[in-house]
Amino acid sequence: MMTTSWRFAVIMMLAFMLFHPQTVLAQVRAKAEVDCQPAAEKLQYDCIIKLTNSRTNEQLAGFDLMVGADMPSMPAMHNVRPVKADEDQEKGTYKARIVLEMYGDWALHLDLIGPVRDRVVKVLRFERDRVGEPTSAQTPAHQRH
């Protein structure tokens, strides 16, 4: 009895995997340059985002862009409210003010939600008075000379 139900389950699973519809949309692949500066308030940052199409290198204007953030060191545990980025005068440039929960490395989620959906992830280190490259995952126990 067990063997039949097992076999049935395995066959169903395989069938599902093989015949599951998989549509790959030909679409825009975005690339982003992000430049953030500390704003007046603590833990607030003004970010300027330049979006380009990674294939054609043309600026991507007129997109709906949401900026969210997650902390790689504590995955899925910080929920920063995503903010809508406003399009700037310059073509393909967007501005957003993000509010973080603590200093440290954050993975910014740049979500294109329309007309095409995509996500670009940028990891940056946010400090009290500057934003820079993320720290390396390594913490050297002591520096060599």
What is the contact surface with another protein in residues (CB under 8 A)? 1-2, 13, 16-17, 20, 22-25, 27, 29, 54-55, 66, 68, 70, 72-79, 81-82, 101-104, 107, 109, 117-119, 121, 123, 127-128, 135-145
Q: CB 7 → another protein: shortest distance, Å?
A: 15
Q: Please say which residue, 47 or 67, places its beta carbon nearer to another protein.
A: 67
> Would you say 67 and 75 are in contact if contact means Cβ atoms under 8 Å apart?
no
Q: What distance in Å separates the CA atoms of residue 116 and residue 20, rounded to the nearest whole number?
A: 23
CB of 35 to another protein, least distance (A): 20
> For residue 121, which of 19, 30, 39 has the smallest C-alpha distance?
30
> Would you say 89 or 128 has its CB closer to another protein?
128
87's tokens: 């399009």
Residue with smaller CB distance to another protein, 12 or 91: 12
Q: How far is the CB of 132 from another protein (least distance, A)?
A: 12
Which of residues 52 and 54 has its CB atom nearest to another protein in the complex?
54
Q: Give residues with Cβ within 8 angstroms of 59, minimum separation 6.
A: 50, 51, 52, 91, 92, 93
Q: Which is nearer to another protein, 89 or 138 (CB)?
A: 138
Distance in Å, CB of 78 to another protein, minimum: 8
Measured CA to CA in angstroms, residue 124 lies from 34, 50, 97, 105, 133 at distances of 9, 15, 15, 6, 5
> Which residues make beta-bridge pairs with 99?
44
